[in-house]
Structure 1
Amino acid sequence: MTSESEDLLPGTRRALLHRIAVAQTEGRTPSLVGGVLRDGRVLWTGSRTGLEEAAAPGADAQYRIGSITKTFTAVLVMRLRDEGLLDLGDPLEKHLPGTEVGEVTIAQLLAHSGGLGAEAPAPWWERTPGSLRPSLPDVIGEGARMHPPGRLFHYSNPGYTLLGSLVEALRGMSWEEALRREVLEPLGLHRTSAQPQEPYARGWAVHPWADALLPEPAEDLGLMAPAGQLWSTAADLLRFAWFLAEGDERVLGAASVREMRTPAVPAAAGDWSGTYGLGMQITRSGERTLVGHCGSLPGFLAGLWVCVEEGVAAVALANATSGPLPGPAAAELVRIVADAEPRFPDPWRPAGEVDTRLLALAGPWYWGTHAYGLRLTSDGGLTLDLLRGGGRGSRFVAAGEDAWTGLDGYYAGETLRVVRRPDGAVGHLDLGSFVFTREPYEPGDAVPGGVDEGGWRGI
């Protein structure tokens, strides 16, 4: 058993290693490695192995990560969007003709809402050579549409094969080369690759009714590679998780990774525990929202989660076809750190400058009789929150003179405008046709429907 740590209390370190040990024992996996990152810094890695002749794997040992590969592929597609080479609403046919499913949009493929089948035609694509599926028709198969596009979430591995082929068509290079140049090298993920590189774990099947092992083949998936080919390490995946939380202008900015983390489809029928964004799974763990992805291929299981609000990410990797549950284990690693050692808030600091025109907007506002508070933020934006009972609150970012755009909540994408009087003083706020005044139904202001001349009265 090995572990490395920094800046965690001894009790926290022991709890993390205990969770890895339990997952390895109860999951009956030859080895399991985990790690935790906070605010961009790896705080802990630990591992356990049941193979007597092997040393416990470190944070630099490669495991196959299966469908976590899809998140990498989605990043490549989002880069194409940000460069103006495609729109997420484009039908696939516009950029990759002749697939027979060309009416499905790029966004639907990213979010698994294109209605395509879950798997490629037989034989089992994860355990057979990719050379058996040399063309897209061999991957998609007949009767590829299981559901009307855009209606519901239906996980589709062939959908991500199409996205990988889309990347190749628009970049003029292989998916693997585009990934290396555009994502892996800029982020410093030097131990993430399409083919295994020593040191790496071997994949095993564990007999369900006996403590016996069977080696699993490690096939090159060919065209299906964008859905599940990659090998990576705990250390690399933690760095990638931090990118998914913060963004990196060399690859994707913060706004684009935030878009990837935003739910894009309804939850699957009968499952309200989570949903899917653009290449990212979104789930609830207790009171926390986690984003990331889980993955599996014969011989391997993987889980990667990040809680953006807490700044904590965790990964768990195992080399068994079934048994251990790296997804829940990684979620538990996040919980252990976040609960045992809560994040210190950033210190409050006064603003460097105060814009008096903005300061005139701060304070209470009323939509009808609903009381709101408008507060200035240090980055020049605004927050608008209902003062009692929760409800329609949002953050706003500056969008020109006397205008702000909603970032989240009910008013996401809506424009908040200041309407000034002839003398330049603030009159009222207009937010998507809603009028906010300094007093409830303030006489003389632009209250829709007017204000009764008799004013406020008792019974």
Structure 2
Amino acid sequence: MSPSASSSIIRAGSIPNGGRIWERGEGARRAAARAIVAQPLIARPGELFSYSNSGYVLAGYLTEVLTGKAWEDFADARIARYLGDHSLSARAERVLMRPAARGHATPPSKDRPALPAARWYAPAALAPGGGLAGTPEDLARLLRVLRGRLETDRQPVFVPTIGWRHSGWAPGIARYRLGENVFAWGHDGTTVGQVCAVRLCEGRPETVVVAANAAWTALQVGRLAEEILRTVTAIAGPADSAPPLAGYEDWTMPPETDPSGRYARLNATLTVALHPSGDILLAETYSPQDALNWFGAKIASTTGPAANPERLQLYARHSYAAAGKELHFLRHPEATGCLYAHDGMRATPRTSRFWL
């Protein structure tokens, strides 16, 4: 399956609570696909960018239907066509047999050390949405192949993105601003407490890879990779910038719109409250699966709002940021009652439902 085939069916949706969605055994991906298609779309395909969404799970299941192979086996063989021997896999038995630095999910504090992440966490049902793991070197090799295909085979198809980090997405790879009219291809990957950023300059051979075993450093690692690439290639001046919602002018909310409320997606619930200063207070509650796998502990409360909200400062209309985090609010241009919180990666619709 080509990247364009999977991109054509990408949808931003939510999956119902519980059930077989988290199973690892045979039939788990089929059950997940059925659960996804039973839910209404939160936006039409191609309307709203959402990274690693449920459309990739559907694409993975469709691959199995069309090829008769497990998605993991298909992905391994497909990558091997371009890389030869490689470490990239979604098979736990392959990933766990390789030596790796222990990942950490949360930073240390004065009261406790950094919290280690689970060694492996990806449910089989959801693996096509981001379950590949491998060495930084092999990730860089794969991205060089993707860059080569985009630059030589066809014109890249960009999907507008949201926030300050990207200037667009093409199938399987992101585009980042390095300077005025200077861009890099790349990807930021996080898994089991690890983070890896790859940057490849457009029209040049240089590749920069930065990795760390601390998941909370993803933003800093990405920026470090870009700064190294800027230094190596002698790119002068500040990075080019654009309004955070430049690609979604029709989705901008009226100034008086209050973004307060509950926003729920597959693995998290966001509770947003407006601060008197105009900033927002954000509380995040993760699904039991993610809380256990990422943070090593079960959620204490599964019914009430999350504790210890974080304050995000207003920096543009309906755009807020704190250290390493951003959140933007949009309204569907045709269904004005549909509000979304977007963290630059994923769209989360406002709802009265609590994920847990």
CA deviation profile, 1:381-435 (whole Å, cap 9, x unmatched): xxxxxxxxxxxxxxxxxxxxxxxxxxxxxxxxxxxxxxxxxxxxxxxxxxxxxxx
Shift of 1:136: 2.4
In the alignment, structure 1 residue 240 sits paired with structure 2 residue 240: no
Counterpart contact for 2:175–2:183, Cα < 8 Å: yes
Q: Which has the larger radius of gyration?
A: 1
Q: What is residue 305 of structure 1 aligned with on the other side?
A: 199
Q: Distance in 2 between matches of 1:242 and 1:297?
A: 21
Q: What is residue 128 of structure 2 aligned with on the other side?
A: 226
- 1:35-434 aligned at under 5 Å gives the runs 76-78=1-3, 88=5, 106-109=6-9, 114=11, 116-117=12-13, 120-122=15-17, 130=24, 134=29, 135-137=31-33, 140=36, 143-184=39-80, 186-194=82-90, 195=92, 196=95, 197-207=97-107, 209-210=109-110, 212-217=113-118, 218-247=120-149, 255-256=152-153, 258-259=154-155, 262-268=156-162, 273-287=166-180, 288-324=182-218, 325-339=220-234
Counterpart contact for 1:130–1:224, Cα < 8 Å: no
Q: 1:133 to 1:216 in 2, by over 3 A?
A: farther
Q: Distance in 2 between matches of 1:308 and 1:332?
A: 15
- The letter of the residue matching 1:237 is L
Q: Distance in 1 between matches of 2:80 and 2:52?
A: 24
Q: Distance in 2 between matches of 1:272 and 1:333?
A: 16
Shift of 1:328: 1.6
- The letter of the residue matching 2:129 is A
Counterpart contact for 2:33–2:58, Cα < 8 Å: no
Q: 1:333 to 1:264 in 2, by over 3 A?
A: same
Please provide the CA RMSD for this pair.
Answer: 3.3
Shift of 1:184: 2.4
Q: What is residue 381 of structure 1 aligned with on the other side?
A: none
- The letter of the residue matching 2:56 is Y
Counterpart contact for 1:299–1:320, Cα < 8 Å: yes
Counterpart contact for 2:199–2:226, Cα < 8 Å: yes
Unmatched segments (≥5 aa) in structure 2: 236-356
Q: What is residue 296 of structure 2 aligned with on the other side?
A: none
CA deviation profile, 1:74-103 (whole Å, cap 9, x unmatched): xx434xx7xxxxxx4xxxxxxxxxxxxxxx
Counterpart contact for 1:184–1:192, Cα < 8 Å: no
Shift of 1:161: 0.8
Counterpart contact for 2:104–2:193, Cα < 8 Å: yes
CA deviation profile, 1:432-454 (whole Å, cap 9, x unmatched): xxxxxxxxxxxxxxxxxxxxxxx
Q: 1:193 to 1:327 in 2, by over 3 A?
A: same
Q: Distance in 1 between matches of 2:216 and 2:81?
A: 32
CA deviation profile, 1:207-266 (whole Å, cap 9, x unmatched): 45336032222124202111221221122122223212324xxxxx8644x54xx24323
Counterpart contact for 2:105–2:115, Cα < 8 Å: yes
Unmatched segments (≥5 aa) in structure 1: 1-75, 82-87, 89-105, 248-252, 341-459
Q: Secondary structure at the match of 2:175?
A: strand
Q: 1:242 to 1:156 in 2, by over 3 A?
A: closer
- The letter of the residue matching 1:182 is R
Q: 1:306 to 1:189 in 2, by over 3 A?
A: farther
- Give the structure-2-normalised TM-score: 0.54
Identity among equivalent positions (%) equals 29
Q: What is residue 321 of structure 2 aligned with on the other side?
A: none
- The letter of the residue matching 2:147 is A
Q: Distance in 2 between matches of 1:235 and 1:140?
A: 34
